[in-house]
Structure 1
């Protein structure tokens, strides 16, 4: 497991229920693994709105990914994307049956379900390279 450099982020993970924490740590590892393989540079792990967030601070080539578990919906957790992007719309087109979506901002996971990590890794890569790919399309 990748070590936490930000103690505030670690504290948020530590507050999650055990099974949710395990599953969200898998998502966290996937974000760092995809970032390393996609050449997006050093990720910054921080809190946004009190939730773990991952930004391509070094290169600026990606869109922020946030993750959260909410007490109001204790059996689910989610990966959030900036709602003004077309990311979730694209994910929904590519993976209509692999995930549950919340509007144009999130992929929602149930605690009892397995996550299709191959498909999710593609979604993560698209988010972490969003601005780089957007610039290429405009050129």
Structure 2
């Protein structure tokens, strides 16, 4: 993944120390999944003041990184998608989510969130392909 724009790096720098490492690990996981899916370079920007990543070509939905109210780092997706429900189904009782928009990043890091990341990166293309 190429370097993020300065405003995105500044957003990472503003996160609390405890959250910053987990959020950077999630950013790396997003880039790795995009490479594995051969989606091309991710587009990084700020959405609602949070780092946001989306694959080029409109095949997915943006993935944002931030913290929930209690300061827990989280991966956010659009609440109008089915992504959090899909993730809960895949992850089972181990899924730590908040509402229809956030998956919490625990001490284990971003590894458990990889199915959600992959699903978000391909969300629109999968919807178009569904019968």
TM-score (norm 1): 0.86
Q: Higher relative contact order at CA 8 Å, sep ≥6: structure 1 or structure 2?
A: 2
Number of equivalenced pairs: 131
Aligned residue for 2:89?
Answer: 93
Deviations 1:44-91 (A, max 9, x none): 1100000000112x2210011011025x423x1111111111110111
Give 1:75-90 correspondences, 5 Å limit.
Answer: 76-90=72-86
| Structure 1: gaps of 5 or more residues | none
Residues 25, 110 of structure 2: 8 Å contact kept? no
Higher helix fraction (1 or 2): 2
Tell me the equivalent position of 1:69: 67
- Structure 2, unpaired ranges of 5+: none
Q: How does 1:1-139 map to 2 (within 5 A)?
A: 2=1, 4-56=3-55, 58-69=56-67, 72-74=69-71, 76-110=72-106, 113-115=107-109, 117=111, 119-138=112-131
2:98 and 2:125 map into 1 onto residues whose CA distance is 25
Q: RMSD over aligned Cα, in angstroms?
A: 1.6
